[in-house]
Structure 1
């Protein structure tokens, strides 16, 4: 994507960017993935790219896993992975990446989008981050984050995975009052050559196990 990842995009365009739209786009991408029974597993700002029209799109599925046990993805074991600062607390107890852990990481991406900082940016070591998270602490509130968005983020950060909203619920909350996020029209963003390049890559790499291999 011409604008690179969302972190670089925000550094180069610090004024006039609708950060709420970027948050909604990220939520829409996550909702789509989860509707396909796919867990991203490594959601963070540097894995969210920005199109020429300024829309956010999810990328880097190196840790993605299939939630439906009837479908196997050869590139992942489904176990925990990703980066510590975006990890849900259950992942520190040998838990697996899940829809709920993606939702936790989504909230961390919201934090990055609105503040321009990493989660727990005041902590230099991952060990200190793990300790904070296990003690129930979350990234510090920033005045740059609207109250209603912060309330949603805190729900996504709940310690109990079952208590976190689904990606579909997140999108509804973002679109409905009082947040009222509006996505950017991006009808001209998609270049048909992207699809042909992706299909070409599939011919070179086997992503799914065949029946014989299973």
Structure 2
């Protein structure tokens, strides 16, 4: 084949690519934005990677995040195709644990590609747990959020494979909920290429890969489940998978020999996470649990831990109700809430803050006016969420505490009536 024949074939392919690109862009018209609509703060830098950079911007009166994809003259068409492929998947997603897509911009010359999405003020899940050091139940709730999103993807028709599940690819939003992001490798299961992912140049991160990905198998919902369990350990232990292995080549060798991302003993000692991860780390793709099965197991674990925590707290609180000082009193409000998938997640309401505020005042001030104390407590309790299933129990505990504190000091005849009123 002559040089001219080869050149003509390349030109024909380019023309076909451009035509396919134009057709795809027309279908995504509702998400296309003009560059003039974006006020990008070029001095801000929210993130950086092989894809390009993430910066802060203003769009339609709100602060957003913009992902500016890196390209050059030789890769413009490739970057444009990757952008459109990602937009095709992402634009069809709608779930509380999936990052919302606002839109994208692709210049006519294909040399500028930008993705626009809501700003996640707390950064990535990986950054958040390291910076804020949340309690274990809060970490589990965040991991549960990501699994919630993954189950949603896998439940679509056809299922959507995320392809790059890890803590760095989940964000923590304003409501302190985790959302899956970065759909650059996401693909409908019916369109997953038959070739191995290694043909893409080891895309993603090998430490999160399941064994079959090193054996010419395509990414799948099963490989997503393996990666999610690795994310769980990441969030709980704040370390990379296979932390005892330094280089990726050795990691690949270890995976192919059957090594797991974390040891069984450590997971058993860490809130029995082995009960969840063992389902996800089946070497056989066929034996590996589905996301919904793992989700049920995680919910069972969380409910067990939550019950234990609430039991310990109530025991401690009951002992303190007969004390004459509130110096060590602790009230917690981590409450199970039903999500759209009918499972439990955990959150801490403003009542925690109210209780701490109450304790501080009760400790530092010698209140002798019973009515003022009860009025103050009523005001603070109004911050509790309506319909709270534990409301009556908590009110009873607080009433007993007020009774114990003020009965000796005031011995008022109307004390019981006042507490009953509260």
TM-score range, shorter chain: 0.7 to 0.9
- Counterpart secondary structure, 2:302: coil
* CA deviation vs aligned residue, 1:59-101 (integer Å, no higher than 9, x gap): 001001101x3xx5xxx74752421000000000111000100
Among residues 118, 123, 141, which one is paired with 1:21 in the alignment? 141
Distance 1:77 1:138 in 2: 26
Contact 1:55 1:184 in 2 (8 A): no
Q: How many residues align?
A: 178
CA shift for structure 1 position 171:
1.4
Contact 2:275 2:297 in 1 (8 A): no
CA shift for structure 1 position 164:
1.1
Find the counterpart in structure 2 of residue 137 from structure 1: 259
- Counterpart secondary structure, 1:3: coil
Find the counterpart in structure 2 of residue 169 from structure 1: 293
Contact 1:43 1:106 in 2 (8 A): yes
Contact 1:65 1:77 in 2 (8 A): no
**Structure whose alpha-carbon radius of gyration is higher:** 2
Among residues 82, 103, 127, which one is paired with 2:204 in the alignment? 82
Among residues 47, 50, 73, which one is paired with 2:169 in the alignment? 47
Higher helix share: 2
Contact 2:125 2:167 in 1 (8 A): yes
2:276 equivalent to 1:155:
no
TM-score w.r.t. structure 1 length?
0.76
- Counterpart secondary structure, 2:345: coil
- Counterpart secondary structure, 1:138: coil
CA shift for structure 1 position 102:
0.3
Contact 1:45 1:112 in 2 (8 A): yes
* CA deviation vs aligned residue, 1:150-180 (integer Å, no higher than 9, x gap): 221022011001111111111111223x432
Distance 1:15 1:62 in 2: 29
Find the counterpart in structure 2 of residue 9 from structure 1: 128
Higher strand share: 2
Find the counterpart in structure 2 of residue 179 from structure 1: 302
Distance 1:123 1:13 in 2: 27
Find the counterpart in structure 1 of residue 363 from structure 2: none
Distance 1:170 1:103 in 2: 8
Q: After TM superposition, list the pairs within 5 Å mapping 1:31-110 onto structure 2.
A: 31-36=151-156, 37-67=159-189, 69=190, 77=193, 80=197, 81-110=203-232
